[in-house]
Amino acid sequence: MALTDMMLAVLEESGLLALWKATSPWLALDERQLIFVIATPVFVAVTLWEYLKIRHDPRLMDSREAIRNFALGAGYQVTELLFAGLIAFPVYALCYHYRLFDLELNGFTVLLTFVGVDFCFYWMHRASHRVRWFWAAHVVHHSSERMNFSTAMRQNATNIFNGMWIFYLPLALLGLNPVWIGVAYALSLVYQFFIHTTLVGKLPRWLELVFNTPSHHRVHHGRNPGYIDRNYGGTLILWDRLFGTFVDEDAQHPPEYGITRPVRSNNLIVLWTHEYVDLFRDMAQPGGLLSRLTHLWKPPEWQRPATVKNNKETGRDNQRTSPDAERR
């Protein structure tokens, strides 16, 4: 008996192989996590390179915050790995089972998957700014007052529970394989890591016209009134140009990064949950059930009259005075 056969026999008798066969389908959607694992050393290397370039400017780099950003990103990846297969994959599998078309994997469907994922990302990203329930998870990504590669890792561990993955379900219903949807999504996030920097200026015009670039994404992270809720694109900037949410970076008005109500805490749990706390506090204000629940799907700046009155009485006037002043 060969040594490899002996090793396989040990595994089979241990019961681990049977356990793996039973649980591996639940992890299928997280083939994308393998992409993140492979890409992470590249992310770290590029971040270190950037750190050496800007470490002397506290406006651009804070080493403690950079480490905290990677910790936030690690929390996000852990919850995605543990729960995406349990929460999202069964729904994707159900949609794919009842798909409208049988699409073979070829060059055309690969391109279709890429464009479809990017299109859905635009609307998911737009909703994550304009629907408060989704914003409660996304806000952590915008709460840094610096723009560097580590900011890209600043993600919320609650994302998988927040339900933003539902925006990609129509692709599975059309007949695109959920595993490849996940792969395309992961590759899009890898691309987006590299647009979180101040070291790259304007790129050639044709690139700026078609793709999301560092210049475009700096606008997205700006809390300047003219920059808020703009440039939602993932890999492509075409959707913003098409749907009227594009704004070009103005050299005369450089972006001011962060949110209008800064989070005065470095605690990871607080960074992940502070907007949920505010949301549920607003929902707890007196009123009917429907008016309370309305906070979940209204924009972040929306407040019920009773809530506004209570905030003024308690000194919690949270600067939500206009659509352009609610978050950055």
pLDDT tens digits for 225-278?
999 999 999 999 999 999 999 999 999 999 999 998 899 899 999 999 999 999
CA distances from 114 to 120, 156, 162, 220 (A): 10, 24, 23, 22
pLDDT, position 40: 87
The pLDDT of residue 167: 98
Burial of 13 (0-12, 13-18, 19+ CB in 10 A): exposed
pTM score of the predicted model: 0.86
The segments of the chain whose pLDDT lies below 70 read 1, 6, 11, 16-17, 19-31, 306-328
Tokens of 27: 């992890």
Residue boundaries of the structural domains of the chain: 1-14+28-271
Cα distances from 177 to residues 91, 101, 105, in angstroms, run: 13, 11, 9
What pLDDT is recorded for position 319? 40
| pLDDT at residue 38 in the model | 84
Kindly report the backbone phi and psi dihedral angles of residue 257, in degrees, each rounded to the nearest multiple of 5, phi listed first: -90, 155
Distance of CA 117 to the CA centre of its chain: 13
Distance CA 185, CA 120 (A): 10
Number of continuous H segments (helices) and E segments (strands) in the chain: 17, 0
Which amino acid is residue 85, in one-letter code?
Answer: G
Return the H-helix or E-strand segment holding 229.
none
Contacts 24+ apart (CB under 8 A), 81-84: 81/27, 81/30, 81/33, 83/160, 83/161, 84/29, 84/30, 84/160, 84/165
Residue burial 91-109, b: 16+ Cβ < 10 Å; e: rest: bbeebbeeeeeebeeeeeb
